[in-house]
Amino acid sequence: MTQPTHTDPGQSGGFLAEIKDAVTTRAALLVLGVLALQLAFITSYVGAFHHPKPREIPIAVTAPAAPVAEQTAKQLDALPGTPLDPRAVQDEAEALRQIQNRDVDGALIIDPAGKTDKLLVASGAGASLAQAVEEVVGLVEKTQGRTVRVVDVAPAAAGDGRGLSSFYLVVGWCVGGYLCAAILAISAGARPANSARAVIRLGALAVYAIAAGLLGAVIAGPVLGALPGSVMALWGLGALVVFAVGAITLAFQGLAGVVGIGLAILLVVVLGNPSAGGAYPYPLLPPFWKDIGPWLPPGAGTYAARSIAYFKGNDITGPLLVLSGWAVLGSAVTLACAASRRGRTGAAVGSGLPDGPEGPDLADSAAKAAGR
């Protein structure tokens, strides 16, 4: 009896067949998607950071005589390129209050009787931002034959180099959020099969977010001494950041399967991190990144973390609403995708096919078999 000969699929079609067998069309498309994501990463980071330039930095101006403050504010507002957004205020106490409330990023206190003025800055909001205010105001003062004495009213902690610890803490929370969600989803298929599974995954994500928020706050605060401020407040913020990013990732996976992981990375890492105001706060970023930063989780989280650490939690309502909005939207889309999936698998059950993520695939196979 002649034994059947088993041949390698590649031997019958040559090298081209080998390529097709080794790299499927689906894999090739995913690789092209990775290339696009890589190029977007390079474009976003280089575009945001290659040429930082101050634009409309809010700054208070005050002097014993109101007309002097108003005149100086007009002069600063007329600088080429509008690096500052000055506004005259009543006195130094009001200027300090506005800095603490994060309404302005600096304040110029004019002394008409002398040649030295005082400049209030807040390096806790970002060392590069405080430095930019000092440089711009210092040049203006120099052209007028005056000098300026800089006072840091909200200095970054000794362990918070250049005020970047808040940013890196939030980046860590974001990474944990989308990695946790990705693992929860791909462990049993890229799309949730039913509403119950989606609810369980969101619940598991919430538990993880609570733990990750606490541990991150403890490491950045008491352990490393990088961030001052309330550990409880940072814990709550961290839990919200992690859950929001994780919920977004689950939503994208519900909509696009494995490709959803790439979409989450695009939103959070490619667009969110360079626009977060970490290395360069918003007034130093180009318009596109400056505009989108406050509306994405890394930017909202970084701003809120700095407010908690250095500004007594002032002006965090907006960022918390942004993060809550992403959390709610991600959860809603995740549950909606699960319900839609359940409807499709329900139709498969009605056809005598098993319920679960395999149902539609088996339905397709049965239909193809029937057509032979």
CB 62 within 8 A of CB 107: yes
- Topology (CATH) of 57-152: Rossmann fold (3.40.50)
219-223, 264-268, 356-360: the lowest-pLDDT one: 356-360
Residue-level pLDDT at 348: 45
* Dist CA 175 CA 161 (whole Å): 21
Q: Would the pLDDT of 369 be above 80?
A: no
Segment 140-156, tens digit of pLDDT: 999 999 999 999 999 99
- Which of these ranges, 52-61, 118-127, 269-278, 341-350, has the smallest mean pLDDT? 341-350
Distance between CA atoms of residues 117 and 147, nearest Å: 6
Instruction: Return the DSSP state at 80.
Output: T
Calpha distance 130→162 (Å, rounded): 10
Q: Which helix (H) or strand (E) holds 151?
A: strand 147-152
Which tokens hold the place of 297? 């989780």
- Hey, CA dihedral for 14, 15, 17, 18, is it positive or negative? positive
Report the percentage of the chain scoring pLDDT > 70: 86
Sheet holding 147-152, edge to edge: 84-88, 57-62, 106-109, 116-121, 147-152
Tokens of 69: 């403050």
Q: Tell me the per-residue pLDDT of 304-334, one tens digit each, with 9 for 90 and over.
A: 999 999 999 999 999 999 999 999 999 999 9
Q: Strand pairing partners for 148? A: 117
Q: Where in the chain is the domain with CATH 3.40.50?
A: 57-152
User: In Å, how far are 102, 163, 277 from 126, measured between CA atoms?
Assistant: 12, 5, 8
As a whole number, mean pLDDT of residues 227-256 equals 96
As a whole number of angstroms, the distance between CA 308 and CA 318 comes to: 13
